[in-house]
A = this chain, B = another copy of it.
Amino acid sequence: MGEGMTTKPQAFRGAFLDFVHDPFHWPEHESVRYVKDGVLVVDHRGIIQAFGPYVNIAPNVANLPITHYPHHLILPGFIDTHIHYPQTEMIAAYGEQLLAWLNQYTFPTEMKFQNKTYAQKIVGFFLDELLKNGTTTALVFAAVYPGSVDAFFEEAERRNLCMIAGKVMMDRHAPAMLCDTAESSYQETKALIEKWHKKGRLRYAVTPRFAATSTPEQLRLAGQLLQEFPDVYLHTHLSENLDEVAWIASLFPDSHGYLDVYDRAGLVTQRSIFAHGIHLTDAEFMRLSEAESAISFCPTSNLFLGSGLFKLEQAKSLEHPIKVGLGTDIGAGTSFSMLQTANEAYKVAQLRQQKLSSFRALFLATLGGARALNLGDRLGSFEVGKEADFVVLDPRSTPLMALRNGPDTPQTLTELADQTFALMMMGDDRAVGATYVLGNLAYQRDSLRHDSAQS
């Protein structure tokens, strides 16, 4: 990691919020770490060297340049656990639910990504949008074309981002131009893994689109790739829509439900991330827990496509816990912002008579997402030794948010919970003052307060 970095050691001062435990399973006040006036010290490689209250750390950083962000709140960079970069331009496609939406909008759009130059253009835009929204790591669907994966990883590498992506595997029920074959998908994926997996901060995900667009043979070969490469990921969709679930049942009459289709192919593993999981049975929830697989909860997408309401409390139960992260699911999702995603996660919970606190939502967007991607040892909090990807949030980024949150820095966790809740309900890309990748400024909002400059 951090190859080519020439950053000098430096420090950042401000109010910091991260998590030391899972607030779904621990009391919130024991899970949240809030340092009202803290310092984060980042070494020349972009690794966190020290973190703590200013009064404790200041004597040790007298020689370092300090960037100070008063009136802001610094969090670990957001982690988006499910997103399709080729769908960036087709966000907000009207009027259909999942299967018709795929045929009418998605497939025609993804065909454009056979052209690598076009893919490069969209990748640049896409990564700009992620950073502008404070997202520093994502689990990304590319298109079916290997060149679309190369375009993505080349640019992510250039920006030194920790990104996970993969080529779509899809050998049926899609236009011919978008289909590979079981064998070609295996060969192409294998070559891409060898080229990109663990190159710097990059990681590869074996990426069958979903069970309906893969033959059993393609799914079997995907499982074989997981065997051959014991630390690549598996990224696919699961139980998003009732018509989809019924279709899978008809396509795989011998299986015991949707998840079982993947399970028989060896795809339900500790390295597997399944997007959606809205219509899972209790037995499927238990199986995902047992396998230590992860679910990506994508509320703006689930509402936009009318897919349904994810049972977050069941996934996060103490008895059968499942790793869960938040996903924007662009282009079925309607915003790149993880704050807006948290807004709609709250609404999904409310419709189910559940509560989703800001701390739980922000956990999902940071350490929870990191753990869902098995990156909890490297990302998602300000632990010493982790990589210094972080986002500087402005809880007063609009006049309305300034009125709602008042001028003061929260003094208690209760005040912080309230302010961060307003931030997640009202915040969007404007609430992101700056985004740092391995300690380097990767995005800064034009209007970031001048008093936040280097001191």
Q: Does A55 contact B (CB under 8 A)?
A: no
Interface status of A62 (Cβ within 8 A of chain B): no
If the complex has contacts A92-B421, A334-B425, A404-B91, are A399 and B129 also in contact, measured as CB distance less than 8 A? yes
Known: A92-B421, A421-B92, A422-B91. A403 touches B350 (CB 8 A): no
Among listed A283-291, A351-359, A368-376, interface-contacting one: A351-359
Return chain B residues, CB-CB under 8 Å to A351.
Answer: 303, 306, 308-309
B400 touches A357 (CB 8 A): no
Q: Closest B-chain residue to A122, C-beta based?
A: B403
A400–B336 touching, CB < 8 Å? yes
Q: How far is the CA of A346 from the CA of B350 in the complex (A)?
A: 18
Whether B399 contacts A128 by the Cβ 8 Å rule is yes
A418 at the interface (CB under 8 A from B): yes
Contacts A343-B334, A350-B303, A350-B306: A404 and B89 contacting too (C-beta < 8 A)? yes
Is A26 part of the binding interface, using a Cβ–Cβ cutoff of 8 Å? no
* A426 interfacial by beta-carbon distance below 8 Å: yes
Would you call B403 and A89 a contact (CB within 8 A)?
yes
* A417 interface residue per 8 A CB criterion: yes
Cβ-neighbour of A400 out of B91, B304, B403 (below 8 A): B91
Q: Which of B88, B303, B346, B425 contacts A403 (CB 8 A)?
A: B88
Contact of A125 among B128, B129, B350, B399 (CB under 8 A): B399
**Bound CA span A418–B95, Å:** 10
- In-complex Cβ contact of A305 among B334, B350, B399, B418 (8 A): B350
Find chain B residues with CB under 8 A from A292 CB: none
Q: Does A94 contact B (CB under 8 A)?
A: yes
The digit string for A375-409, where 1 denotes a CB below 8 A from any CB of B, is 00000000000000000000000111001100000
Q: Mark A67-105, 1 if CB is under 8 A from B, else 0.
A: 000000000000000000000111110110100000000
Residues 105 to 152 of chain A near chain B (Cβ within 8 Å): 125, 128-129
Interface members, chain A 35-60 (any B CB < 8 Å) = none
Contact B306 A92, beta carbon cutoff 8 Å: no
A347 at the interface (CB under 8 A from B): yes
**Of B95, B125, B347, B349, the contact of A357 (CB 8 Å cutoff):** B95
- Whether A18 is near chain B, meaning CB under 8 Å from some CB there, is no
Instruction: Give the distance in Å from the alpha carbon of A306 to the alpha carbon of B354 in the complex.
Output: 9
Given B94, B309, B404, which contacts A417 in the complex, CB threshold below 8 Å?
Answer: B94
Contact partner of A94 (CB less than 8 A), chosen from B305, B358, B398, B403, is B358
Within the complex, what minimum Cβ distance (angstroms) separates A420 from chain B?
10
Q: How many copies does the complex hold?
A: 2
A335 vs B401: C-alpha distance when bound (angstroms): 11
Most central of A129, A351, A404 by chain B CB within 10 Å: A351
Cα-based distance from A398 to B403 in the complex (angstroms): 24
C-beta contact mask, A422-436 vs B, less than 8 Å → 1, else 0? 100110110000000
Cβ contacts A314-347/B at 8 Å (1 or 0 each)? 0000000000000000000011100000011011
Rounded to whole Å, the gap between the CB of A40 and the closest CB of chain B is 28
A355 to chain B, nearest CB (A): 5
Contacts of A347 in B (CB 8 A): 303-304, 306
Q: Which B residues are in CB contact (< 8 Å) with A355?
A: 94-95
Say whether A353 contacts B91, CB under 8 Å: no
Q: How far is the CA of A399 from the CA of B399 in the complex (A)?
A: 22
CB-CB under 8 A from A94, the residues of chain B are: 355, 357-358, 417-418, 421
A398 / chain B contacts, CB cutoff of 8 Å: 429
Interchain CA distance A255-B436 in the complex, whole Å: 61
B303 touches A425 (CB 8 A): no
Q: Which 6 residue pairs spanning A and B have beta carbons closest together? A: A306-B350, A92-B425, A303-B347, A92-B422, A94-B421, A95-B355
On A, residues with C-beta under 8 Å from B are: 88-92, 94-95, 97, 125, 128-129, 303-306, 308-309, 334-336, 343-344, 346-347, 349-353, 355, 357-358, 398-400, 403-404, 417-418, 421-422, 425-426, 428-429
For this complex, 14 residue pairs linking A to B, each with C-beta atoms less than 8 Å apart, are A88-B403, A90-B404, A94-B357, A95-B355, A303-B347, A304-B350, A304-B425, A305-B350, A306-B350, A306-B351, A308-B351, A334-B425, A334-B426, A336-B400
Contacts A91-B400, A92-B426 known; 13 new A-B pairs at CB < 8 A: A88-B403, A91-B422, A91-B425, A94-B358, A97-B350, A125-B399, A125-B403, A128-B399, A304-B346, A305-B350, A306-B350, A309-B351, A334-B426
